[in-house]
Amino acid sequence: MIAATTKLNVYEQYTYSYPHKHTYQSLEKPIALKTAWQKEDTSNLFAYLHIPFCEMRCGFCNLFTIANPKGGVGEYLDALQREARIYKETIAPTNFEEYAIGGGTPTFLSPPELARMLSIFKDDLGVNTQLKYGSIEASPKSITAEKIRLIEAYGINRISMGVQSWLASETKLLGRPQSPIEVQKAVDLIKKSAVPEFNLDLIYGIHSQTKASWLYSLENTLAYEPTEIFLYPLYTRPLTGLSKMQQSAEDNRLKLYRIGRDFLKNSGYVQTSMRCFRKGDVPVITNNYSATTNGMIGIGAGARSYTNQLHYSTNYAVTRKATKAIIHAYSLKEAFNTVDYGFYLNEAEQMNRFLIKSLIDGGVLYPVIFKQQFGKDCLSLPVVQELLNKKWLVWKGAYLQLSESGLEMEDAIGPMFYSENVRDLMQNFELSS
């Protein structure tokens, strides 16, 4: 199934899902949406809504989004509503246990557009935003008091915002010019709001970033006592100016990661994954959704949906021209009752995904559940044995979890579970498309 590996690149790939979207292809035969979901349990789902618009395209961004579109948002929301209604009518999901609204930047929308988007999510798709746990992405340039009032009114639990750095010189190098005063005002608005939780993202590994400048950003962030602080290593898109600049710099990401990790842990934050540090006195909100066994419905251009055997989305691209064309085609689409672009998971790929989703981003792996689901002992797999031997994976009672040394290797561990087929498809994906 999976071969053990001994040569690792610490920052090979952020594996937040599996398989990667670069593996998706046009299906030989389109499948009816109802057929794709007919054997799935829809009583415990994750809902995702994608807004592929931002006020700027950051130099490090690899998301499916375009910056500062000249019109077309209204047409996009029209299509979003058509798609949401198709799901509600065709699949009739009985319960969305958790949800997220991302992009792009959802708060790029004007207040009336944001209000309509939230209404579509709640009324047309059927997500109970008041009772279920959910999050929305924001940016310092686009968040306003009026938009926060809408977020509060819909009962959204969490606002997630990327600060990246509190130094204008560093964010400029990231291709994200922003004023620290602008960021401060945005964080102040969120901090004073009735939204229960918020997180702030920082990036380490920026060209010329030092221990002192990194600690400066950490200290400024900590002053607001966010519920969570996310530390992201800098990954760059190939063929960009930022990528070329980073190639000339020393890779100090692991060093800065350890500095940040120790600083936050010593400041009362609990590490829950490689990237996430949660305020120690704030309990983790739990629910019945499990990413290893439950499905996901995503609406919007670029949004992914997951059944047990089929992962699918709209077509995917990287360049602005191609991305814009896909968004335009989505906005004109009338019928959303077939699936024609995705990836079928055989049992081996389902096992790979189960292991990745169990271990990455602070998850836990129950060998008993793995055996119940697949009839195999995951402890017999060479890659699992290697992780145990390196003490990157440790027992915690009845389950396995990454150790502190394992967490810092998370972006190397995830790819250890990739199949050769997935690697080949990712390698052959056209970045220029």
Per-residue pLDDT of the chain (433 residues; tens, 9 = 90+): 444 444 568 999 999 889 999 999 999 999 999 999 999 999 999 999 999 998 767 666 677 788 888 889 999 999 999 999 999 999 988 899 999 999 999 999 999 999 999 999 999 999 999 999 999 999 999 999 999 999 999 999 999 999 999 999 999 999 888 999 999 999 999 999 999 999 999 999 999 999 999 999 999 999 999 999 999 999 976 545 565 556 656 789 999 999 999 999 999 999 999 999 999 999 888 888 999 999 999 999 999 999 999 999 998 887 888 889 999 999 999 999 999 999 999 999 999 999 999 999 888 999 999 999 999 999 999 999 999 999 999 999 999 999 999 999 999 999 999 999 999 999 998 765 5
3-state helix, strand, coil split of the chain in percent (to 5) is 40, 20, 40
Same domain, 82 and 203: yes
Q: What would the pLDDT profile of 262-307 be if each residue is shown by its tens digit?
A: 999 999 999 999 999 999 999 888 888 999 999 999 999 999 999 9
Shared domain for 94 and 178, answered yes or no, is yes
Residue 413 is part of a domain; what is its CATH number?
1.10.10.920
Predicted local confidence at residue 244, as pLDDT: 54
Residue 312 belongs to some domain of the structure: no
| 155 and 247 inside one domain | yes
Note if the bond before 415 is cis, omega within 30 degrees: no
Give residue 175's pLDDT: 87
Residue 198 maps to a domain: yes
Residue that is last in its domain, among 235, 263, 279: 279
- Single out the residue of 395, 295, 381, 335 nearest to residue 46, CA to CA: 295
Residue 371: inside a domain:
yes
- CB count within 10 Å of CB 7 equals 5
In a domain, 322, yes or no: no
- Is 150 found in the same domain as 69? yes
Give the per-residue pLDDT at 5.
44
Count of residues making up the chain: 433
- Asked whether residue 10 is assigned to any structural domain, the reply reads no
Domain that holds residue 160: 23-279
Which of these, 166, 108, 112, lies nearest to 142 by C-alpha position? Answer: 108
234 and 364 belong to one structural domain: no
| Rounded (5°) CA angle 99-52-62 | 95
Residues 163 and 256 in one domain: yes
- Residue 196: other Cβ atoms inside 10 A: 15
Residues 31 and 164 in one domain: yes
For residue 331, give the H/E element and its range.
helix 320-332
Residue ending a domain, among 246, 279, 312, is 279
3-state secondary structure of 293: coil
Residue 305 forms part of a structural domain: no
- Give the C-alpha separation, 105 to 53, whole Å: 6
CATH code of the domain in which 76 resides: 3.20.20.70
Phi, psi of 156 (to 5 degrees): -70, 130
Indicate if 29 and 114 belong to the same structural domain.
yes
Number of domains composing the chain: 2
- Given 279, 300, 319, which residue is the final one in a domain? 279
Residue 136: enclosing H or E segment and its boundaries?
Answer: strand 133-138
Tell me if 431 is assigned to some domain.
no
Tokens standing for residue 353: 């995904």
DSSP state of 365: B
Pairwise CA distance, residues 417 & 355, whole Å: 8
Rounded Cα distance, 105 and 85, in Å: 23
In terms of C-beta density within 10 A (0-12 exposed, 13-18 middle, 19 or more buried), how is residue 283 classed?
A: exposed
Query: Residues 27, 169: one domain?
Result: yes
> Rg of the chain over CA atoms, in angstroms?
21
Q: Which has the closest alpha carbon to 398: 422, 431, 375, 366?
A: 366
Residue 289 forms part of a structural domain: no
Chain center to CA of 230: 12
Task: Please tell me the predicted confidence (pLDDT) of residue 3.
Answer: 42
CB-side neighbour CA atoms (13 Å) of 46: 21
Q: How many CB atoms lie within 10 A of CB 4?
A: 13
